[in-house]
A and B are shown apart, each in its own frame.
Chain A
Amino acid sequence: MSGIRITNLRKSFGSYTALRGIDLQVPNGTLLALLGPSGCGKSTTLQLLAGFESPTEGEIWADDVLLSSPRGVLPPERRGISLVFQNYAVWPHKTVAENVAFGLSIRRLPKAEIAERLTRALRTVRLESLRDRYPSELSGGQQQRVALARALVVEPSILLLDEPLSNLDAHLREEMRFEIRQVHDLLGITTVYVTHDQSEALVTADRIAVMKAGAVQQFGTPEDVFERPANAFVARFIGSNNELSGTGEGEGSIRIGDRVLTAPDRSGVARGGSVSLCVRPSKVRLDDDGGLSCNSLPGTIVRSAYLGEHRDVLVDIGEGRTIRAFVPPERRYGPGAVTTVHLPIDACQILAPSA
């Protein structure tokens, strides 16, 4: 196994720049999630890691082996990096066993060892009974496990997962998340996991790199990116978020319309620059006065939706701005009711728009 070091990685396709210089360090045995909306460059990063594309600039290292640089690229078959594809890419003309054993036979291992490792891999993903089936006879989840077994059986030094769960139904997806994490804990392979689903990233990853427009917005632990987002984009992308944009007033204040609100300032933006005040809907309180220090604003209820575990209330605070609040489900609000919105200062953050 090896750690990954990516330095100043850039990739352009003609006039389109997919990656604008990213730096990432993935320690040996870590599970890194590359998280971002489509077109953010996460899949390009994965293709570069796998060796299917060559970088325009920058380098990729596995420990002290240089894998990719603009001067040359170690071909995919010589990297020891396994890849699990979004659509599984299970070969339809090979049985489950043939699929999984392919990488082993490429390595010309003795027959006995191939058989032994194959059986072990199939057992790990609970597919022993299906070994002679063809992929067309398997469900999506089973094909997914074939792809995983095929990638793991060759004992790669790095495992890449490209949106591995996005083709599964919601229920199965939730289950497979934990399974992937479990396999990682068991084998400890350095893993890069590409996803656009924040909850997948939060559940599985040791580290998350949030990407947007070819640049890393934030690189940190799941707690970091959720609780201390580096900018308004990250706050918006991970979890639900209220964002009020305005201008920095300095010393932890932000001017929004004709109001000035206070919050811890982590924007690093000079006074007068454009910043946003971000607060999670779950922290927003309505009506009651908890006695905490809050930014309090008058508002009118626009709509209220009952979601079982909480009530999702949208409040108009004037000047075309709204605030979403998750409040206890037993509290009822009718549209048009007048209320007061409290934004606890500790839960608010003043952030720059994006990197």
Chain B
Amino acid sequence: MGVISTSSRDAESRPVMARVPLVKAAVLGAVILLLALLVVQPFGWVLFNSLHDDATGAWTLNNYARVVRSAELIEPLVNSLILAAATALIAVGIGVPLAWLVSRTDLPFRRTIRVLTLTAFVTPSFIGATGWILLAAPNSGWLNTAWRWLAGEGAGAPLNIYSMAGAIFVCGIYTVPYSFTMVSSALDEMAVELEDAATTLGCGVLRTMVSITIPLAAPAVIASFILSFIQGLTLFGVPAFLLTPTGIPVVTTKLAEFYQLFPPEIYLAAAYCMPLLLVTGALFWMRRRYLGRKQYVTISGKTRAGRQIRLGGWRWPALFLALLMPLLSVFLPYAALLLVSLTRAWGQGLSWENLSLYWYWWAIFGNSETHTAIVNSLVYSTLGATLCVALGTLVAYIVERRLMVGASLLGAVATVPIVIPGIVLSVGFFAAYTRAPLNLYGTPLLLIAAFAATFLPIAYSHGGSILKGIGPELERAARSLGAGEARTFLSITLPLMGGGLVSGWFLVFIPIIRELSVAVFLITPKTNVMTTLIYNAKDGGNYEAVCAMSVLLLLITLFLVAVARPLAGLTGARRTSRKTATAAGVPS
């Protein structure tokens, strides 16, 4: 008695075919449609608009000609490149030594420094800029005041945050965590055996570092330089806060300016996105090429704790230098924001009577605008992260398991937003969804979709790396026992991804809730979020409220980070020991 229920057929040699897998077809169709709507379409509109005339709507190269010819449009490009290069230099110049100190030496309080760097990592840089405006605004900045108090009234004000130097400084200190994280994880994952091998051959500590450790970490250093460069190039908040008031334009703020003109120069803006895209695209391509050749980055052995280099008498001076970073990026700006937010009226100075939680109460309950923004932020981030992770995971699954012809093309599409600066994506979404038949302007859906699209590459690559750890045999076993593809995905693949998906969700949620540049053209008063509210309110002069909102956003973010780390580890910990999951993933 066979289990095959299919009736045997006569010699007509054609297998009893499967039913058309309806579920699979529907899911594939939905994924393709969503990718088209979220990525292809907005980007396509940017390209299309850049080639059209604002007034007549005819095809033209005029927009590009204007970008190239007008000195007024070249200057922001140059400024952007200066900002980007300086940011990258600071990030690598500080981040790499810091990473080495934390990963390879007996520096005291290494864990604390890691945690503080993570705190700086999740701090939105425009909020850091707000803090630094309080600290180093010309004349009124606290550090300037402190300087005058020390050096006498005539000493003047040495610091001016509203300058290129100021912007470079703020961009730099908030980009350091990127290079720090990349290089320190490269150092942590490096097989100790590689260094030990050199030591056993008679290499001293310093020689080993120079001829083994540093070359092995070089790819991570270079990759982090490129990433920091891109960061400096595409940041919108910091230059908008620090450079726009003094009239120094960069590409991102210039793009925003096109939208504030009347009538807005949307088609010129589209063309103006292209140089930015070209540079980021080229940089990502370089990074990929470079990392592709240096395969040894990922070489790792048993990662036990590496041999620590004793700093001896340098321990405490090194700690002082290492603490300078958290001081500048976390303690000082956080303290400034917190103090201002806790005063009823900042102008009346610090006194017990002036201290109150009024502005928090005001932001959360008292003012309908801020209340709405807080609710919107939470709701949009939740929905956006969910959509993003669901779509990214499905694409990763389709690509990993080659469920359709051209699957890798889907993966490529899902990765595209990584090279698109947030502000450009915003331009694209504005172009795509402010016209019929998909006029979503003013609806929450527009922001949710834009957020999901922006962080799709994170969700996709995260999903892919989880799936790589789950051997296809686990799914095939279910198939051979009679489960269809959908059933297999739901009862085997999804539960196995479990904990990883939770951490992936946070990995997307956190950048969404602090994202400013994507939202900036897409919001309406009804769909305002916390970041755009802070951005729009800081010109209003109500610094107490801005600071209270900023602190609230920071608290939410830090809370989520604190929750996410243990939570992601906890889910399914009892059942899925890591050992079995990897053992089961060993390819035959």
**Which A residues lie at the B interface, using CB under 8 A?**
1-2, 43, 50-52, 59, 62-69, 71-83, 85-94, 102-103, 106-107, 134-136, 147, 150-151, 154-157, 160, 162-163
Contacts and interface: CB of A to CB of B under 8 A. Distances in A.
A30 B581 CA distance: 34
A130 to B, nearest CB: 15
Judged by DSSP, the binding face of B is loop
Contacts of A136: 575-577, 579-580
B496 A92 contact: yes
B69 interface: no
10 closest Cβ pairs, A-B complex: A136-B577, A103-B481, A80-B3, A89-B473, A157-B2, A76-B479, A80-B4, A83-B480, A92-B580, A89-B477
Contacts of B588: 43, 85-87, 162-163
Given A78-B16, A163-B588, 15 more contacts: A1-B2, A43-B588, A63-B2, A66-B9, A74-B6, A74-B17, A77-B480, A77-B482, A87-B586, A90-B580, A91-B492, A93-B496, A93-B575, A107-B482, A162-B588
Given A2-B4, A76-B476, A78-B6, A66 B16 contact: yes
B577 A82 contact: no
Nearest to A67: B15
A264 B158 CA distance: 103
Nearest to A28: B2
Contact of A63 (B8, B576, B584): B8
Given A85-B588, A91-B492, A65 B483 contact: no
A106 B576 contact: no
Nearest to B481: A103
Nearest to A73: B15
Interface string B554-588: 00000000000000000010111101110111101
21 contacts: A43-B588, A69-B15, A72-B14, A76-B480, A77-B479, A77-B480, A78-B4, A78-B482, A79-B4, A81-B480, A82-B481, A88-B584, A92-B575, A92-B580, A102-B481, A106-B481, A136-B575, A150-B477, A151-B480, A155-B3, A156-B3
A71 B581 contact: no
Contacts of B498: 93
Contacts of A62: 2, 4
Contact of B16 (A65, A82, A86, A103): A65
Interface string B450-483: 0000000000000000000001011011111111
Nearest to B12: A66
Contacts of B18: 74-75, 78
Contacts of B13: 59, 66, 69, 71
B549 to A, nearest CB: 42
B575 to A, nearest CB: 5
B366 interface: no
B482 A106 contact: yes
Interface residues of B, number: 44
B474 A91 contact: yes
B484 interface: yes
Contact of A150 (B481, B495, B580): B481
B557 to A, nearest CB: 31
B21 to A, nearest CB: 8
Nearest to A2: B2
Nearest to B574: A134
A101 to B, nearest CB: 10
B502 to A, nearest CB: 14
A89 B15 contact: no
A76 B574 CA distance: 31
B471 A87 contact: yes
Contacts of B574: 134
A106 B16 CA distance: 21
Contacts of B476: 50, 52, 76, 83, 85, 89
Contacts of A50: 476, 480
Residue among B2, B9, B498 having the largest count of chain A Cβ atoms under 10 Å: B2
B487 interface: yes
A266 to B, nearest CB: 35
A135 B482 CA distance: 21
Nearest to B473: A89
B123 to A, nearest CB: 37
Residue among B496, B574, B584, B585 having the largest count of chain A Cβ atoms under 10 Å: B584
Contacts of A90: 580, 584
A334 B20 CA distance: 73
Contacts of A135: 580, 584
A127 B412 CA distance: 47
A72 B8 contact: no
A106 B480 CA distance: 11
Contact of A157 (B4, B496, B572, B577): B4
Interface in B1-39: 1-4, 6, 8-9, 13-18
B499 to A, nearest CB: 10
Contacts of B584: 87-90, 92, 135
B483 A69 contact: no
A85 B477 CA distance: 8
Given A85-B473, A136-B579, A71 B15 contact: yes
B580 to A, nearest CB: 4
A157 to B, nearest CB: 4
B477 A91 contact: yes
B337 to A, nearest CB: 44
Given A80-B3, A136-B580, A72 B17 contact: yes
Given A65-B6, A106-B487, A71 B479 contact: no
A154 B481 contact: yes
Nearest to B578: A136
Contacts of A1: 1-2
B15 A68 contact: yes
Residue among A69, A79, A151, A155 having the largest count of chain B Cβ atoms under 10 Å: A79
A109 to B, nearest CB: 11
Nearest to A71: B14
Residue among B2, B480, B482, B492 having the largest count of chain A Cβ atoms under 10 Å: B480
Contacts of B581: 92
Nearest to A79: B4
Nearest to A153: B481
B480 A82 contact: yes
Residue among B14, B481, B482 having the largest count of chain A Cβ atoms under 10 Å: B481
Nearest to B8: A64
Interface string B333-344: 000000000000
Contacts of A74: 6, 15-18
Contacts of B487: 106
A40 B99 CA distance: 49
A68 B16 CA distance: 9
Contacts of A156: 3
A154 B495 CA distance: 23
A141 to B, nearest CB: 14
A63 B13 CA distance: 13
A142 to B, nearest CB: 12
A103 B484 CA distance: 11
Contacts of B8: 63-65
Nearest to B483: A106
Contacts of B577: 92, 134, 136
B474 A89 contact: yes
Contacts of B477: 83, 85, 89, 91, 147, 150
Nearest to A190: B2
B2 A69 contact: no
A65 B575 contact: no
A83 B498 CA distance: 26
